[in-house]
Amino acid sequence: MNFDPAEIADLDARDPLRAFRDEFQLRHGLIYVDGNSLGAAPKATAAQLAAAVSQQWGEGLITSWLGANWSTAPQRIGDKIARIIGAASGEVIAADSTSVNIFKALTAALSLRPDRHIILSESTNFPTDVYMMQGISAFSGGRIQSVAVEPEAVLERLDEDVAVLLLTQVHYKSGLVRDMAEVTRRAHEKGVLVIWDLSHSAGAIEVDLNGAKADFAVGCGYKYLNGGPGAPAFLFVAERHHSARPVLSGWFGHASPFTFEEDYRPAEGITRFLCGTPPVLGLVALEAGVDLLCRADMRELRKKSLRLSQLFIEQMEERCGEFGFTLVSPLEPDLRGSQISYAHPNSYEIVQALKAFEVIGDFRAPDVLRFGLTPLYLRYADIVEAVERIREVCVTRAWDKPEYRERAAVT
């Protein structure tokens, strides 16, 4: 389908989410299709961080732990994220990195399945997920086995030896969406617990953790939650698993951290899965991003995301069909996250050259171009224009020209 500019303008004018774009700092002319790597900066974040530094920290000093509610920020922000991912209040904390939270979820799951010795994932999962599994296996001296099978073989590998299955809901490279409810059901049939990595789901698609009876979930604060570079991640533990004893049993997960007891005694509820002192400044920035997202209707967000990706695919076929791009993402809307990926022999060079044309996407080895389509701040017109610029790069083979390569390297 070929859209004319008036049609596109009309789509943008009627977009119920159109007001959100103005909440972000996005320089004029830039088309930012890398929100799945690092979400754009909400305009509110700078002011909220400035207040946290100058007023809360600078003036309030130590008293801000209570006075500015720093001490409950992990749970408060967790409750907000819970609304985005279909969890209940009291089931989510914002804390640590995704990798560390994966460790927490894996070890908690293992403690709930003490007679099982396999932790399972798929071989093409985002690497840190599998690396964390391998670390646990090495530390256990081989008692715990880390197994990663081909994506298609995951369900048939489930058996009574498997303690926990760790899967990413939306694949980081292809954007393929796993059926969370069905996979969880199949795992539970074998007594296997499931950890869902929502790094590419939270804020990107509708997620219903409790509807799917998920056991654990982790996810990233700096992608679609727009929490800033290296933002604190989040951890979901279904209420029925709150009795699990944390391995990373730091003082902020203690039932009474400020009485300085000699023995670890886990706090009730999700709080026990905190470990060290919460990263306040990172949490302030994360909260600004999450607050913005909480104002959006997730159904509208998903609807727009799919329309953006549909338009992207169609325009790519129409305008760049002759340049050898192979669609990696699923055509079927239900199976598609909020990104579109293509394989191309020159993918790295194209991504680099595109920066000189003010289109920022990203490259994933060995040959994938990945375009994150964040519905909060992308317009339909941006999609059309992005494809035009990709076409220009391909027509001129811009990546062969040293001036573009140099400019790209600088940005």
**Of residues 346-375, those binding a copy of itself (CB under 8 A):** 355, 360, 362, 364-365
Stretch that binds a copy of itself, among 76-84, 158-166, 234-242, 251-259 (CB under 8 A): 251-259
Residues from 291 through 350 that contact a copy of itself (CB under 8 A)? none
Answer yes or no: is 15 a known binding residue: no
Which residues have a Cβ under 8 Å from the Cβ of 338 and sit 6 or more positions away?
Answer: 36, 170, 175, 200, 204, 205, 224, 305, 308, 309, 372, 373, 374, 375
164 binds a copy of itself (CB under 8 A): no
Which residues have a Cβ under 8 Å from the Cβ of 312 and sit 6 or more positions away?
Answer: 340, 371, 373, 383, 386, 387
113 binds a copy of itself (CB under 8 A): no
Answer whether 387's CB lies under 8 Å from 312's CB: yes
Answer yes or no: is 99 a known binding residue: yes
Choose, by CB under 8 A, the member of 69, 123, 243, 396 that binds a copy of itself: 123
Q: Shortest approach of a copy of itself to residue 54 CB, angstroms?
A: 5
Containing 113, the helix (H) or strand (E) segment is: none
Grouping H, G, I as helix, E, B as strand and the rest as coil, residue 394 is helix
43-51 helix and 280-294 helix, angle to the nearest 10 degrees: 140
Q: Shortest approach of a copy of itself to residue 139 CB, angstroms?
A: 4
Pairing assessment for the beta strands 234-237 and 31-32 based on DSSP bridges = unpaired
Q: Catalytic annotation on 43?
A: no
β-sheet bridge partners, residue 119: 146, 164
Q: How many residues belong to the site for a copy of itself (CB under 8 A)?
A: 89
Q: Catalytic annotation on 223?
A: yes
Out of 126, 348, 357, 377, the active site residue is: 126
Answer yes or no: is 72 a known binding residue: no
49 binds a copy of itself (CB under 8 A): yes
Task: State both tokens at 78.
Answer: 């967790």
Answer yes or no: is 128 a known binding residue: yes
Q: Shortest approach of a copy of itself to residue 235 CB, angstroms?
A: 12
Stretch that binds a copy of itself, among 14-22, 155-163, 275-283, 326-334 (CB under 8 A): 275-283
97 or 210, CB closer to a copy of itself? 97
Angle (nearest 5°) at CA 172 between 167 and 177: 60
Answer yes or no: is 129 a known binding residue: yes
Stretch that binds a copy of itself, among 31-39, 82-90, 201-209, 297-305 (CB under 8 A): 31-39
58 binds a copy of itself (CB under 8 A): yes
d(CA 25, CA 41): 6
Choose, by CB under 8 A, the member of 9, 18, 57, 161 that binds a copy of itself: 57
Q: Tokens 């974040």 sit at which residue?
A: 45
334 burial (CB, 10 Å; 0-12 / 13-18 / 19+) is: exposed
β-sheet bridge partners, residue 342: 327, 369
Stretch that binds a copy of itself, among 12-20, 179-187, 244-252, 311-319 (CB under 8 A): 244-252
212 or 280, CB closer to a copy of itself? 280
> For the stretch 203-239, what's the b/e string if a residue is b when 16 or more beta carbons lie within 10 angstroms of its beta carbon?
bbbebebeebbbbbbbbbbbbbbbbbeebbbbbbbbe
Q: Tokens 């076929």 sit at which residue?
A: 317
55 or 326, CB closer to a copy of itself? 55
Answer yes or no: is 260 a known binding residue: no
Out of 20, 32, 222, 273, the active site residue is: 222
139 binds a copy of itself (CB under 8 A): yes
Containing 32, the helix (H) or strand (E) segment is: strand 31-32
Which of 231, 226, 207 lies closest to 217, judged by CA? 207
Q: Catalytic annotation on 113?
A: no
Q: Shortest approach of a copy of itself to residue 219 CB, angstroms?
A: 12
Contact track, a copy of itself, 61-90, x by CB under 8 A: xxxxx-x--x--------------------
d(CA 76, CA 274): 13
Out of 80, 113, 223, 379, the active site residue is: 223
Answer yes or no: is 4 a known binding residue: no
Answer yes or no: is 124 a known binding residue: no
52 or 180, CB closer to a copy of itself? 52
Choose, by CB under 8 A, the member of 203, 219, 232, 375 that binds a copy of itself: 232
Choose, by CB under 8 A, the member of 13, 258, 299, 403 that binds a copy of itself: 258
Q: Catalytic annotation on 172?
A: no
